[in-house]
Each structure stands twice: as C-alpha cells, then as structure tokens.
Amino acid sequence: MPGLGAAKSSDPVSGSNVKAGQKVTYTLTYTNTGDAPANVDSTDDLSAVLDDADVTTEPASDVDTVTPVRDKSSLRITGAIAPGATAKVTYSVTVRADGERGDNLLDNVLTPDDSDACLPGNCATDHKIGELEMRKSSDPLRVPRWPRATK
C-alpha cells in the first residue's frame, strides 16, 4: 500500500509577520511511508499570495520523478515517489512594495488529490504583511528581482 503524506512549510514560519521586499520560501514535502510507489497529484493555490508578492524563485523539485508546473497562481505537482522516499518542492516569493499589494495576507493552501493526504493544518501557511512605520519618498517602485537560487 502506498502511504503518501503531504505537508507545507515556510521560511519564515507560518503566522509570522513579513514586510515589503522580504522573501518567503515555501517547501512542499511529500513522504511515502508505504511499501509501494505513490503518485503525487496536488495543486498549490497561490492566488492569495500573488496579489501581494511575486514569485522570484520558480518551483523546483529535489527528485526527478516529481514535477512542479506553475501556471500563474496555480502550481500543479505530479509524479511518483518510491517507497520510503521523500520529495521536496521549493519556491520563493518576494513581498511587493507598500502600495502595490492586495490584502496584505499571504494565504497559501496546498490541496492534494485523493492519493495524497494532508495532516490537518499541515498544508496551509499564512503571513501578514506589516506596513512600514515610516514611508520614505525614495522607496523604489519595484521590488528587486532576486537571482535564481542555484542547487
């Protein structure tokens, strides 16, 4: 029996306050605790994140058999994981400048299809964005693009 578990974590941790220009890195972890290969079939909904932040490091998997494909705010993760193996998909977003955001909440929810399972509360993260106390007239209009992380 395959036994696939899915979880989402973030750096900084869910519940943290973040600010303009700050990077948030998300990690989706799939663990196959069963004794047969397990299929990954998940959708990560970024729509409540990308109104406030831009993807600055595109999703990448640490194993060849799992493929993340992002189409705007929808990240589809599919593939297979060997028994006893773990796959991680990571990506980063950077919070936009003050005045260029939506609701100042980064709510990120992973929704697995039938074959994978989220432990309750383990597949969603949220971050609140605090406005800067002092606004500077020299604030740049655009958030700088960070270089793509190398493996």
Q: Is the dihedral of CA 17, 48, 89, 147 positive or negative?
A: negative
C-beta of 113: minimal distance to Ca ion in Å? 24
Question: Which of the stretches 10-18, 95-103, 116-124, 136-144 binds Ca ion when contact is defined by CB under 5 A?
Answer: 95-103
Buried b (16+ CB within 10 A) or exposed e, 115-142: ebebeeeebebebebeeeeeeeeeeeee
User: How far apart, in whole angstroms, are the C-alpha atoms of residue 108 and residue 49?
Assistant: 6
The window from 50-58, 75-83, 91-99, 128-136 that contacts Ca ion (CB under 5 A) reads 50-58
Under rule CB under 5 A, residue 55 binds Ca ion: no
As measured in angstroms, the least distance from the Cβ of 29 to Ca ion is: 23
Show contacts with Ca ion in window 99-138 (CB under 5 A). 102-103, 105
83/102 with CB nearer Ca ion: 102
Question: Under the phi-then-psi rule, with left for phi > 0, alpha for psi from -120 to 50, and beta for the rest, what region is 38?
Answer: beta
Interacting residue ranges for Ca ion, rule: CB under 5 A: 48, 51-52, 102-103, 105
